[in-house]
Amino acid sequence: MSNQGPRAIAAAAQLREALEHTADALAHARLDGLLAGEAVLEDALANLAPLQGLSPAERAVVREELERALGALLRCRRLGSALSDFVRLSFEAQGRAPGYGPRDGAATHVYAGRGLNTRA
């Protein structure tokens, strides 16, 4: 009896958990969590193996884990996009560009206070 089935299931679960960890770090803006999750995600991807030789029941479990991993990946994409937009708008509101380089963060198009009228 081969241990390929349990290994495939464990690898798919590891991938899902790594993506869920990444999504959680994005949701709470935890850079340390994002950085720590990178190695775990890389290991999870490296552990994925071809699914030939798995029983139908094992394939079903792997498929379920991978579908849940896809859900976590989509959450990561949405949260990452929202975080990028937030950072970009925050920098633009300050008159700075969210990039690196010799411009020292000078924004090409600035709000200059025209679009932000608030009272403290």
Asked if residue 50 is part of any domain, the answer here is: yes
pLDDT, tens digit, for every residue of 58-97?
Answer: 999 999 999 999 999 999 999 999 988 888 888 888 887 7
107 within a domain of the structure (yes/no): no
Label residue 104 by pLDDT band (50, 70, 90): low
The H or E element that residue 79 is part of is helix 56-93
The pLDDT of residue 115 is 54
**The model's pTM:** 0.72
Looking at residue 42, its pLDDT comes to: 92
Q: Does residue 94 belong to any structural domain of this protein?
A: no
Q: How long is the chain?
A: 120
* Per-residue pLDDT at 91: 85
Q: How far is CA 16 from CA 52, 62, 72, 92, 111, in A?
A: 21, 11, 7, 35, 41
Q: How confident is the model at residue 29 (pLDDT cuts 50, 70, 90)?
A: confident
Per the structure, the count of domains in the chain is: 1
In this prediction, residues 45-67 reach a mean pLDDT of 91
**Which carries the bigger pLDDT value, residue 45 or residue 107?**
45
Query: Domain containing 55: what range?
Result: 4-80
